[in-house]
Structure 1
């Protein structure tokens, strides 16, 4: 006879897994867990106050998203890209976001797009220095997410989400300096101005240039940065 699970127990477990997925995803995207880092089950069960079952289910979900790799005899490891994968994903990102930013500028005055976009990108106008990688990467992720959110193409936004393109910048974070963060923020502002002005071609050109310069950082990094 198979064991039965009380409805409330199943709901509670599902909520725990969702909380773990969200917490771990946030930690990875904000560089609290670095590319190549092994996630220790004993530490995480203690930190999150959960058992191993929900944690392993969260690992499986994040592996399906491409954020973790489940390695035999090592467990869950934050995905680390090879140099070739980094370049290929930058090519994909430039093509996808180039289209997204062009569409966003074209539809910025439809519905509530303008107000939503302005709300989502508000942090880029702050004059406070970006001194930490975690703060910069969160702002960077939100800015690029805002473009996808108002571009009017749900399939494009979903595809970009599946590829977990923010991982590229996390991999390069070790080579970035506060001056680079400020340059990137300045470029974000120019892209935003072009979108808000409805200048689709200019917005696309600026976005592609922005990502091209980010891609060049990979060439300055030692081979040990990347997975072989």
Structure 2
């Protein structure tokens, strides 16, 4: 899957009257995840609790809980006496995630094509495709890949299956796309965009078999390129 100018930073959450500790921890978790998505926190970067607490104005407690949650999900590593670091994904991790995404993608594309055949409005795919088209060549590879991931988020929403996005969310896609971009620079932007234009076009036409075929070939090509990459 491999950017347009950086998105504007979200407003810092700050304390909210009457908010409980659980809610603040969720806010802190989302803040860190968004920072990874936007490239403000990068793989291998150290996260300092005090700095995060000052930046978000949430306090040490919610930050500490957020770091524990993200460590449990494999997004960060908690190292004794050294604190937290954004996890680095190895090549084998990237291949495993791509393999998992093939399954999620197959289900989503099939369901959306069926919905299109039944007359459901799937024009949001064209809007998502326009964003991909605009971001090609105008941004870095990682952000372009995130725009592609946004296309799949639209697919999940149109599929009618609420679990697809939840499953994809467990695959740490914000971190995944940042790391994948370091391994697979895009040399053929037109080809990459063309692949997704073909997927969008066939989905709108209700041709799930063709959309799945194009998607699977694309994913298999990414996996093959990763396996040829000499780095571990």
TM-score bracket, normalised by the shorter chain, equals: 0.7 to 0.9
Distance across 2 between alignment mates of 1:215 and 1:130: 25
Contact kept? 1:124, 1:185, Cα under 8 Å = yes
1:99 match:
107
Specify every segment of 5 or more residues in structure 2 that has no aligned partner in the other structure, as ranges.
Answer: 1-15
- 2:201 is aligned, of 193, 202, 221, to 193
The C-alpha deviation readout for 1:118-175, integer Å capped at 9, x for no partner, is: 4444412437623313431331221121112212222333222223345433212123
* TM superposition shift of 1:98: 1.8
Aligned match of 1:170: 178
User: Does the 8 Å contact 1:117/1:146 carry over to 2?
Assistant: yes
Instruction: Give the structure-2-normalised TM-score.
Output: 0.78
Instruction: State the 1:207 CA deviation.
Output: 0.8
Q: Tell me the CA shift for residue 192 of structure 1.
A: 0.9
Cα 1:46–1:137 change in 2 (3 A) is: farther
Q: In the TM superposition, what is the alpha-carbon distance from 1:196 to its structure 2 partner?
A: 0.9
Counterpart check, 1:90 vs 2:98? yes
Match in the other structure for 1:145: 153
Q: State how 1:6-17 maps to structure 2 within 5 Å.
A: 10-11=18-19, 13-14=21-22, 16-17=24-25
What secondary structure does 1:103 align onto?
helix
Q: Name the CA distance, whole Å, in 2 between partners of 1:61 and 1:166.
A: 16
**Partner SS for 1:77:** strand
Report if aligned partners of 2:142, 2:177 keep a CA contact under 8 Å in 1: no
How far is 1:30 from its partner? 3.3
Q: Does the 8 Å contact 2:53/2:63 carry over to 1?
A: yes
CA distance in 1, matches of 2:159, 2:48: 39
Match of 2:131, SS? Answer: helix
Q: Is the 8 A contact 1:100 1:156 kept in 2?
A: yes
1:131 to 122, 125, 139: 139
Equivalent-residue separation in structure 2 for 1:91 and 1:53 (angstroms) = 37
User: Which of the pair is proportionally richer in helix?
Assistant: 1
For these two proteins, the number of residue pairs brought into alignment is 217
Q: Is the Cα contact below 8 Å between 1:98 and 1:204 reproduced in 2?
A: yes
Partner of 1:43: 51
- Root-mean-square deviation (CA, aligned residues, Å) is 2.8
| Structure 1: 5+ residue stretches without partners | 1-7
Contact persistence 2:25–2:63 (CA under 8 A): yes
Q: Work out which of the residue numbers 57, 60, 66 in structure 2 matches 1:58.
A: 66
